[in-house]
């Protein structure tokens, strides 16, 4: 099966699984750790499946054309830019997760401070905006990496 078609088929399946887990989490609030472990297991299985498909694709190319020809065809068709694209994805994901955590803490603290002193609104929103800037930095790094790819 074509890896692109496999990825397209995997998206609805992951959405259904996540929806079921969210419903289960709402019904049983004490099982958040089990849901987290289950989602980590699904991500691990998906990563393993992706690795198996990628290794099979490369080994099939080597078996049909020979190792030197397969490497030359891969690099000439843009296969060498996978590291830059992976780095861009990691930069965006990491900075977005970091920004989400930062906004959660600073937003909660800002709301607590504004409940006692409403005139502090402007300064509190500046701090929350600075925390959101972390995601912008990751996006800038991703654009630079994609430009190099």
CA dihedral 44, 92, 144, 72 (to 10 degrees): 10
Last residue of a domain, one of 49, 77, 105: 77
Average pLDDT taken over every residue of the chain: 77
Using only the alpha carbons of the chain, give its radius of gyration. 22
Q: What does pTM read for this prediction?
A: 0.49
Segment 25-40, tens digit of pLDDT: 677 666 666 766 677 7
Domain that holds residue 38: 1-77
Last residue of a domain, one of 27, 53, 77: 77
Contact 45, 37 (CB under 8 A): no
Pair 62, 91 in one domain? no
């Amino acid at each position: 099966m074509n890896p692109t078609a496999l990825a397209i088929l995997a998206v609805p399946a992951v959405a259904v699984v996540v929806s079921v887990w969210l419903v289960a989490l709402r019904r049983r609030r004490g099982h958040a750790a089990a849901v987290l472990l289950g989602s980590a297991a699904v991500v691990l299985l998906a990563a393993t499946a992706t690795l198996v498909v990628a290794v099979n694709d490369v080994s099939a190319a080597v078996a049909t054309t020979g190792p030197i020809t397969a490497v030359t065809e891969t690099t000439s068709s843009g296969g060498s830019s996978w590291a830059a694209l992976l780095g861009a994805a990691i930069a965006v994901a990491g900075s977005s997760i970091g920004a989400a955590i930062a906004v959660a803490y600073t937003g909660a603290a800002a709301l607590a401070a504004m409940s006692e002193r409403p005139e502090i609104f402007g300064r509190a929103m500046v701090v929350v905006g600075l925390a959101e800037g972390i995601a912008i930095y990751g996006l800038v790094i991703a654009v630079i990496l994609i430009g190099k790819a």
